Structures are given as C-alpha cells and as structure tokens.
Structure 1
Amino acid sequence: MPYRPTHRQLEYLVAVADHGHFGAAARACNVSQPTLSAQLRLLEDRLGTVLIDRGAATAQPTPAGQALLPLARSVLETLDELVRVAGAADSGLGGLIRLGVAPTVGPYLLPPVLEALQADVPDLELYIREERPVQLEPAVRDGALDCAFTPWPLRDERLNHEVICEEKIYLGLPARHRLAAAAEIPVAALGGERMLTLGRGHRLYEQVQALCAVSGAAMGEDYEGTSLDAIRQMVSIGMGLSLFPAAYVASEFAKERQVVLRELSDWPMLRRVVLAWRTGSPRQLHFQRLAILARNALSALSIEGLKLAPIGGSTR
C-alpha cells in the first residue's frame, strides 16, 4: 500500500505555511514544537522531498511544499465536511446547507420559505447562491452546493428532486398591442411577433424558444434580458412580448399598467419548480424535509396560478 500522510501531518504543513514559524504553528495546532517538527520531518522523509525551508528568517514552503499545499487544504476541508455531514445526519435538518437558487425563483418564492425555516429550524445555517439553472446543476452534482431550487426539467440524471410547485406562465404584451384586448390568444396569432427572453441557460429561454418554434414568432436575438424586471420594462415600451411566471406576476405586477397578461388558448404554459440534490447524498432525508417545509410555507400564500405539488411521489 502506498504511503499516505496523516491528517495531522497535513494540518502541521498548512499551519507552518500560514504562520511562517514553527512555534506559532505548534501553538495553533495545540501541540509542542518538537512534536510538530518531528512529524513534518517524517512526512518529508516518506515523500522523499523537502517541504519547508528552515534556513530562512521565517519558515517558508519550498516549491514542493507550495505544490502540495492546495491538496493538503482540500483534504483537510473534505475531512471537515465528513464530520459535518455525519453530525448533521444524526441531528436532523440543521447545520449548514449550501443552497442554490435560480434568479427567476429566488426573489419571488424564497422569502416565505426562509421565514418558515427561521421559525421551524432556528439552528439551520443557509449559504445562498443565485445562478442560472445551467450553472446550478453541475454545482450541486459536484458538491459545491448541497441542493438548489430551480425550474424543471433537470438535465443531469445524477440529480434527484422533489417538485415544490407548478406555476402558470403568462404571455405579457404591451398594453396597446393588437392582441391586448383578447381574453385568450391562440398560438397562431403570435406569428411574426418578436419575443424577448432571458439569456441562454435559463429555462424560460427554452420555453420562449419552443413557443417561437410552434407559433412562427421570432426570438429577439439582439436583446437577452438579465432579469425579469428588465424584460418587463422592454415589453412595456413595445419592444416585444415575453413570458412571466405566476409568482413573479404576483410579486411585481400589482401596479403594472403598461403590460397586460394573457393565457394562450392552445399551448400549455406551465413550469415546475423543484428542489434538486445529488443522488446518493447522505442528507437526502434532510432535503426531503426541506421540500416539505417549502411547500408548507408556500401553502400559506394565495398566488393565482401557483399549485403546490403533493408530498412525496415526485422524487426521481
């Protein structure tokens, strides 16, 4: 079996690099300086290379030591994560969860969920990162994030999910548009219209793209919005039409007078929002509980066009 450094040896190496002094490193690691020095000597002997330059005024890593430092830090962080996950598995939903959220979901559905989590799980610590769905999925798969609220479908088959809710998607038109007076609009009526959308990597981009393909509408390729607010402003001044999810409509359209919302009579305009996590995660039960808490929090709201998913049965 090849030689494997101990975690203490790696800890000592990192401490010396951080403090630049054997004595300070030993104090930081709560060991005597001779113990620390002896373990680093043993590590160097077994690896066959010098890792610390002891001749300088301060203890500095050699080139070999510098090359090993990122790996040593990564191993120590992984061991810390192992301990954290093991503790969380016993203690239930709590500790740190690194949560990803899509920009079209977070501002409009996340606040009531966060409020409920603070009340029900006060020891839960959340780190929240907003990214496009195309970036969230690999981040969850590779462990940079624990889970993510994101629109369905998921492209990565290595992710499990629970459906949180299903939203209607409305067609937004300028108030003076020729179709604005219609109660419902057939897909064919959109032929030749210009559709605005968020940039690539958003599921709404894909939905607009699909709608253009069946209706004969044109994608506004010269403008890709960075937010739903930006798209709404573009629609309000007559630059085109777009799609808006129900939760966004409930949050932002109360005082909107320049954009009207309509449903298409012959095209399914829905999207699902899911909580996704890595298949095989030891915290799957925690994420399923998080999904239940999210549904319960949203059930207290009255959002037209938003339907909660049943508990269970929607995990892939």
Structure 2
Amino acid sequence: MLYISLRQYEYVCAIGRHGSLSAAAHALNVSQPALSTALTRVESLLGYPLFMRRRGAAMTTTPQGRLFIEQAEKLLHSAAQIEHPTDAPHGSSHLRLGCFIDLAPFHLASALRSLQTALPDVTITYHVDSFEGLLDGLINGQTDIAITYDLGMDAGFTRQELFDSVPHALVPPDHPLATAHNVTLADLELEPLILSKEGLSAQHVLNLFRRKCLNPTVAHRAATLEIQRSLAAHGEGIAISYASPNNSMSYDNRTLVRLPILDKDAAEPVVLARHGTGPVEATLASAERVLFNTLSETRPEVSCEDG
C-alpha cells in the first residue's frame, strides 16, 4: 500500500525548491499550515527528517532529503506523462495482428507485407479468428490491432473505417435470379439461405432482413466460406457473404454467379480495431498508419455487372 500521496510528494519538492514553507505555500497556492502538516506526515512515515530547520535561516535538505526529492521529482514527472502525455510512448519490438477469418484470404498477406516493409525491426505475428476470438484477444492484450468488421464492439474500442463491404448472393447458373445484375433482400426472402456458422455474422445478416420485416429461412450454416460457396453451387440454397472471391468457380469446380445485394443499409464497414481509446505507443501508431494506407487503397469496387 502507498502511504505518501502524489500531492505530498509535490509539496516536499516545492519546499526543497523554494527553501521555506511560506515561499512554497505561495507558489502552490495552498496554506502554510497545510504544507507544514504534509511535511510532518511524510517525515513521520519515512522515519527521518528531510529538512534541517533553523530559526531565522532557510530550510536546507538533509542528505536523505536530497535523495528523496530527486526520486520524487522523477516520480512526479512520470505521473504527469501518464496523465498528460506529450510524446507517444516508446515503440514495442513486437506487433500482434489479428484478422477476421473471412477477410484473411483477401487482406492478410498485403497487410503483413506492408508492415514488414515499414517496420523492419519489429517482429510481427498474426492470428486469424472469429469475431469473438478477435475481441477477446484485443481485450486480453493478446492482439494489438485487428482487421475485422464493425460488429460486436462497444465504445471501449478505437476503430478506423477502411471501406464499406457489400454483401453478395451466390447462386448456381440455372437459378432464376442468375440473370439479374443485382438483387435486394426482398428478392431473397423466400429462398433457402446458406449463412456462416459464425454467430455474429449470421445474426447480422438475419437482422438486415428483420429490419425490413422480412422473414427468411436458413437452410444451412456453413463452417467456412468455401463450404458456403460449394453448397450454393450445388443448389442447396442462396449463400450470402460479405467476403466473396470475384471468381465463378467453387473449390469443387462448380460454377457460381455472384450478385451484389444493393440495399442501402446492407453495406458493412471493414475496420482497423484496437482496444482502448487513449494514446498508443509508437510501434502501434505506425502500424495503424501503414495498415490504413494499405487496406483503404484495396477497397473493393462494386459493379452492377458482377455476376
């Protein structure tokens, strides 16, 4: 337990600088008795005097007092830096990057390459996870910064929007909607849907329908994006995904048609996220700038000719 407050450290240092209780009290705009009481308490707690008191002469520090004041000044400076930082803290030599599982195939490699080029002296590690896994990692300090969708985060997170991601409906070429250039959520209400098994992702898609008083049916919840695409290619339903490769073949060599869902409120921002809202150390600040510049430049172009 700490028995000496920062205020009492400040009082002792002021007495040492000004050489008297009255001058220190005037400089600090406090009463002289308050200053005297604080000094007496500090010396009592320490068990030795910090100043020599001689009638008619300035107060002078004892050897122990000089050492105490030197250490107290450093402590007060550190406390002031914490409370009112003027410079970013020193940079870390290790950066831990997180990426949402469906975004990783599209953005992780370019993010790593940019970070490695810009921060050659920093060891960069990464992990790919679900929304919940990324949030837990950010909160627990296991992840410094994450590339993810803006889902499930409260005001305790700092977010920088990179770009808006538009969801797509994936259908086989013989589906009645395959000849359309784009679709709306209303077009999909009566179709069996294939959603992600990831809880927040599926809930977000269903909420898009519910906000429009639409009640879709979920036929499958797929563990991965490619399983989702394969099920759609085989006619098991319409897959809805924000992360959708711009190609027409599934892993099992089946043709897919990719249709943007153009409801205005369906787009979802992809963000850089970190836990906390205050200043960050230098390495993380640099990484934020590098990732923002790299990933915002790779924002996907949405065309009505998709599919």
Tell me if TM exceeds 0.5: yes
- Alignment partner, residue 148 of structure 2: 150
Q: Report the Cα distance in structure 2 between the residues aligned to 1:211 and 1:176, rounded to whole angstroms.
A: 26
2:293 pairs with 292, 296, 303, which one? 296
Matched, 1:190 2:184: no
- Alignment partner, residue 102 of structure 2: 104
Q: Report the Cα distance in structure 2 between the residues aligned to 1:176 and 1:287, rounded to whole angstroms.
A: 49
Q: Report the Cα distance in structure 2 between the residues aligned to 1:173 and 1:244, rounded to whole angstroms.
A: 12
- Alignment partner, residue 127 of structure 1: 125
Shift of 1:117: 1.4
Describe the superposition over 1:261-294 as per-residue Cα deviations: whole angstroms up to 9, x where unpaired: 2233545331211111121566365444323212
- 1:19-58 equivalence runs, <5 A: none
- 1:222-261 equivalence runs, <5 A: 223-245=220-242, 248-250=244-246, 253=247, 255=249, 258-261=255-258
Shift of 1:239: 0.6
Tell me which amino acid in the other structure corresponds to 2:245: V
Q: Any gaps of 5 or more consecutive residues in structure 1?
A: 3-87, 307-316
Q: Higher mean Cα deviation, 210-219 or 229-238?
A: 210-219
Q: Report the Cα distance in structure 1 between the residues aligned to 2:266 and 2:190, rounded to whole angstroms.
A: 20
Q: Report the Cα distance in structure 1 between the residues aligned to 2:257 and 2:281, rounded to whole angstroms.
A: 42
Shift of 1:154: 3.7
Q: Percent of aligned pairs with the same residue?
A: 22
Shift of 1:236: 0.4
Q: Report the Cα distance in structure 2 between the residues aligned to 1:299 and 1:157, rounded to whole angstroms.
A: 23
Q: Is the 8 A contact 1:171 1:244 kept in 2?
A: yes
Q: Is the 8 A contact 1:164 1:295 kept in 2?
A: yes
Q: Any gaps of 5 or more consecutive residues in structure 2?
A: 3-87
Aligned length: 213
Q: 1:111 is paired with a residue of what secondary structure? A: helix
- Alignment partner, residue 77 of structure 2: none
- Alignment partner, residue 89 of structure 2: 89
TM-score with structure 1 setting the length: 0.59
Q: Report the CA distance shift for 1:285/1:168 in structure 2 as closer, same or farther (over 3 A).
A: farther
2:207 pairs with 203, 207, 210, which one? 210
Q: Report the Cα distance in structure 2 between the residues aligned to 1:284 and 1:191, rounded to whole angstroms.
A: 48
Q: Is the 8 A contact 2:192 2:237 kept in 1?
A: yes
Shift of 1:234: 0.7
Report the RMSD for the aligned CA atoms in angstroms: 2.7
Q: Report the Cα distance in structure 2 between the residues aligned to 1:99 and 1:265, rounded to whole angstroms.
A: 31
Tell me which amino acid in the other structure corresponds to 1:292: R
Describe the superposition over 1:106-154 as per-residue Cα deviations: whole angstroms up to 9, x where unpaired: 1211111111112111112122122111221122112222222111134
Shift of 1:255: 4.5
